Amino acid sequence: MKNNQTLRIRNTRNALIISNCVILIAVLIIAFLMMFSRMTESKNKNISSLASFSSSLLKERFVDHMDNTEKTCDLFFASANAGFYPDEGSMSRADINKTLDEITSELLGISLSDYYADLGIAYEDGSTAGVITDSTRDAFGSDIYNGLCSFISEGSNDGWGTGYGGDYEKLYFVKRLNDHAVITISSYTKELERRLKDVTGFANATTAVIDSKGIVICSADIEQKGSVGTAIDNEPLSMIAGLHNITVQNDDYYVATDNITDGWRSICIVSKELFKKDNRNLYFSVFIIGTSAMLLSAAISIFITRRLSTAALAQMYAAGLDGVDRLTKLTNKFSTEDMIIDTLESSPMGSCSGLVLIDIDNLK
């Protein structure tokens, strides 16, 4: 009887230990999965928002530069020389040269910035006024007028056009002045990039102005250099094909884009690989912490359960509930009474039973 009760207590103790450990592990796993899911969802939202913000901020700064450029050009449109055309049929060459010199002086006088490379006018007959640098002349050859006109697309707002030199050294902003002339302002790409740096909210992002072919014409990346003139990856470019002013993502990239002009757009690309790596590191760290917590909790559960079961077993022995006297190993009072009652109740009517009492003096 004693062995059976002890075995039941130990089995109960083991069941409690196992059930406590299983419940604890299940709760920790569920809590970890919920926490990891919420963290991943929150990170996706944050990165998408930062990519969208970076693209929009780059567009805003670039548009500000274009607006300042346009204001500089518009100052000349109020000039009496805005409609001038060097027509040798009605003017002498000396008068033409004199007027061109006056226009050059006027353009230099209204320049509002010292970081423009070109600030000049190209006429249909090949004449120029203002500042037209040698690099621009080399880029367009003898036909500067038609070269600059190629940047103005049909139906463009206010006759404005944008373009870049073949080596991406300069970005050109061109506007038609009259039927025979265009005015242009160009900026060195490196100078413009310096003013556009640090528009991203995080490192390791590709943030740039690209043309319709996906070629980087101006980069705003802090760490990446020499990206101007290179093509961005096909995968993120295909994600925004036909889309405008949007933020999208797939398994590999977050991509945000905003239109700047008909052919140019800002773009911010963030590779998910870095964040997948961060997630793996986070997962591993939380796994180690969770495993340590489970082992510690299991150890505490085992310790407490063993103490409780041991206390229960000791209490049972102390109360004599096992039916045996612990000193003599004989049946104790409680078991003897139960045996007497059972014998009397189970005996047939008229039968006799006997009880022998032996008193041993000085047994103790």
The CATH number of the domain holding residue 184 is: 3.30.450
177 domain-assigned: yes
287 domain-assigned: no
Containing structural domain, residue 160: 62-192
121 domain-assigned: yes
d(CA 76, CA 120): 10
pTM attached to this predicted model: 0.66
Do 97 and 305 form a contact (C-beta atoms < 8 A)? no
Mean pLDDT by runs of 10 across the 364 residues of the chain is 57 70 74 72 80 89 87 87 89 92 90 79 93 90 90 69 84 91 91 74 78 88 71 90 90 91 87 72 70 72 64 55 67 76 78 78 69
327 domain-assigned: no
Count of domains in the chain? 1
> Both tokens of residue 277?
């790596």
149 domain-assigned: yes
Q: What is the pLDDT of residue 308?
A: 59
At 163, the amino acid letter reads: G
Q: In which order are the strands placed within the sheet that holds 246-249?
A: 216-219, 205-210, 265-271, 253-259, 246-249
116 domain-assigned: yes
29 domain-assigned: no
87 domain-assigned: yes
